[in-house]
Amino acid sequence: MVDSQYYLPNDIGISALDCREAFRLLSPKEQMYAHYLSRASWYGGLIVLIQTSPESANIYVLLQKMFRAQAPQQLETAATAAGLSAEEYQAFLVYAAGLYANMGNYKSFGDTKFIPNLPKEKFKALVWESLAFKQSPGDMEALWGCCCESLYSLEDKLKQLGLGEKGISAYFSGNCCLEDAEFAQKFLDSKNLSAYNTRLFKTEIDGKQCYEVRLASAEKDNCAVEGKNEVCCGKHEFEDAVFSVKRGDYAFLMEKVCQNLEKAKDCAANDNQKRMLEEYIRSFTCGSVEAHKEGSRYWIKDKGPIVESYIGFIESYRDPFGSRGEFEGFVAVVNKAMSARFAQLVSSAEDLLPELPWPPAFEKDRFLKPDFTSLDVLTFAGSGIPAGINIPNYDDIRQTEGFKNVSLGNVLAVAYATQKDKLTFLEENDKDLYIKWKGPSFEVQVGLHELLGHGSGKLFVQDDKGKFNFDQTAVRNPETGELISSWYKGSETWDSKFSTIASSYEECRAECVGLYLCLNKEVLSIFGNEGEDAEEVVYVNWLNMVRAGLLGLEFYTPESKSWRQAHMQARFVILRVLLEAGEGLVGLKECTGADGRPDAVITLDRSKTYTVGKSAIQSFLCKLQVHKSTADVEGGRALYEGYSAVTADGTHNFLRLRETVLLRKEARKMFVQANTKIKDDAVELVEYEGSAAGLIQSFVERFPDDAEKVEAQLLEMTCMDSSCWC
């Protein structure tokens, strides 16, 4: 038996995302706009296969060929003939669904590898028995040969994503380590190039280190041409190495993205949308992050659209160095009733920001009121679907021009529904409260986290011309009382400075803001929570956070002493802070469960939330902000990594608790998404059942016009780089 954390259980939750009513209410032009944006997103989403692992695209193509020839129900006959039991065939379907849902064979939430929960020889027997194999035995045997070893391998380095000996990453060639990532960042900073849309490949020529920086773009021409001169393609001597900057990574897929964005442009509702799409197309054509930033500026100006979307290399959680963005694209429809609450929160933001526990000088000079909408997702292409988003991630835009917040309503509706018998680590009397108030409390937390968490706080910057955005003769560090002595210089950004901890640190800061401000009666009232109901929302929000901190231990790897998931590391840090506060605020004890196996119970003293709890979060949140504002990497790392440490020492044996958490973990849900297609000049919504078979069928029908060409290109891209991870 393989450790259960490396496979997906047969009874994993799979839910269909319901967007039928939202889509029906769109006008024909809006439906067409949403359709082409969705097409662009789905093509771009395939890039994640290439970004995740060297074998992901090969496995994807193998599965697509099998299911295109036979739907899951038909393939079951072949499975029986190949000697698979019903449980083994279900395990095969769940694995396939997992690969599609995560866009690769590593979990999008936690970054651990998952392998099929059936013997390798049974998987092979099914491939050989399939109609796809009978139609093209040579191709299918070659495909199996390409991926059969890596499909099942749980070699230590392959168990999780990481850099160097800590794991595998397709953002870097296999011979790169942390020092290479740091060195490349220095080079990129010197050329004022963003790492967001890049990958890094290292070779050695005549004893000299040579690095290839690949830019994602439809165009492969590396010459400087008009409108593209901000991307410095070509060779560059840098210190004792040579860097070569090249266009054309994922060129075929980037071109498909651009073609569909062009078609969407014809259905745009206004000039902001048109100019936004023009800039995205320019960015994806020539590999310019500056063009994507320009598109993001128009996106911010497009206030209150009926169809909301965003696309590009966005989140850097899965880059082990924290600078490269994973491709994602989403298309969603505004839920007007829920959006009204978020709009009220935005209106109250300027009154709430001064409540945060840092001096006024550490807050942005003015609050740029963003759009904050609740959306029903039509399409979310990438490795996973979040509950809420605050974008763009470009600090210079967020600081001075603004941002948008979205809460994904139809995701929240199904993602966090919990059955009482599967609810772990809580006392019985807390379980009913938790189930009743988890939804309302999470709605409040997401709103505060995205708007006033990610949307707050100033970065102190000295630009290329030497100009400061703060008074360095007056602003003092509230922790020491001394004048500020460090700040961001030139092209330095939050991500480039704080690199490996940037994502988790920022999620922790936003989560703390949510905990801190949910104690505010005005905030609770905005979300319709008054009196005793409001108190229950606060209690369950804080209880959920400390429980999540305990659950976070699943995402820690003791062998490499590393965390694999930014949000869960953040929640563990908060648990540590609240345990350290003492006075009985949080209780955590190990015990034996009713089943005779190790268990644990976590409790929260609600009478101390507004005193001991608030004081602890207030102090910690101020420290987080000061280190962030002042670019104090050393101080920030010491603080954050100190609380992130998972040891057997002290009051709680967290390494032993981790084993208990793994023993009782529940697999994260997967989502089935609809497709859209044009029939008789109108757009139709095609829905699927919430099951492994439904999820598989949705992907089989996702690329009706050119599936084989897409798959051939994926194989070509994978083959071209295969030697980089040998």
Choice among 88, 308, 450, 554 that is catalytic = 450
- Spatial distance between the Cα atoms of 309 and 264, rounded to a whole number of angstroms: 11
Indicate if the pLDDT at residue 693 is higher than 50.
yes
Measured CA distances, 308 to 103, 453, 545 (Å): 23, 22, 30
Contacts with 632 (C-beta within 8 Å, 6 or more apart), sequence order = 486, 626
Residue 585 has what pLDDT? 97
- How many other C-beta atoms can be found within 10 angstroms of the C-beta atom of residue 293? 19
Residue 627 has what pLDDT? 98
* pLDDT band per the 50, 70, 90 thresholds, residue 399: confident
What residues does 557 pair with on adjacent strands?
A: 562
pTM recorded for the entire structure: 0.86
Average pLDDT over residues 307-316: 96
Q: Is 192 left (phi over 0), alpha (psi -120 to 50) or beta?
A: left
Q: Which residues of 395-429 are buried (b: 16+ CB within 10 A; e: fewer)?
A: bebbbeebbbbbbbbbbbebbeeeeeeebbbbeee
Q: What residue spans define the domains of the chain?
A: 336-384+419-664
Residue 483 has what pLDDT? 96
- Spatial distance between the Cα atoms of 311 and 380, rounded to a whole number of angstroms: 10
Percentage with pLDDT > 70 across the chain: 98
- Spatial distance between the Cα atoms of 723 and 726, rounded to a whole number of angstroms: 5
| DSSP states along 339-404 | HHHHHHHHHHHHHHGGGSSS-GGGS-SS--PPEEEEEEEEEEESS---SEEEE---HHHHHHT--E
* pLDDT band per the 50, 70, 90 thresholds, residue 37: very high
Indicate if the pLDDT at residue 4 is higher than 90.
no
- Spatial distance between the Cα atoms of 353 and 345, rounded to a whole number of angstroms: 11
Q: Pick the range with the lowest mean pLDDT from 178-187, 365-374, 612-621, 704-713.
A: 365-374
Mean pLDDT of the chain: 94
Look up 522 and say whether it is catalytic.
no
Average pLDDT over residues 367-387: 90
Indicate if the pLDDT at residue 224 is higher than 70.
no
Residue 172 has what pLDDT? 97
Contacts with 31 (C-beta within 8 Å, 6 or more apart), sequence order = 23, 676, 682, 683
Q: Which secondary-structure segment (H or E) carries 237?
A: strand 234-238
- How many other C-beta atoms can be found within 10 angstroms of the C-beta atom of residue 649? 9
pLDDT one-digit tens code per residue, 317-365: 999 999 999 999 999 998 887 788 888 999 999 999 999 999 999 999 8
pLDDT one-digit tens code per residue, 452-484: 999 999 999 999 899 999 999 999 999 999 999
Indicate if the pLDDT at residue 227 is higher than 70.
no
Measured CA distances, 111 to 51, 158, 419 (Å): 12, 11, 26
454 is in an annotated binding site: yes
DSSP β-ladder status, 670-672 and 14-16: parallel
Higher pLDDT, 726 or 499: 499
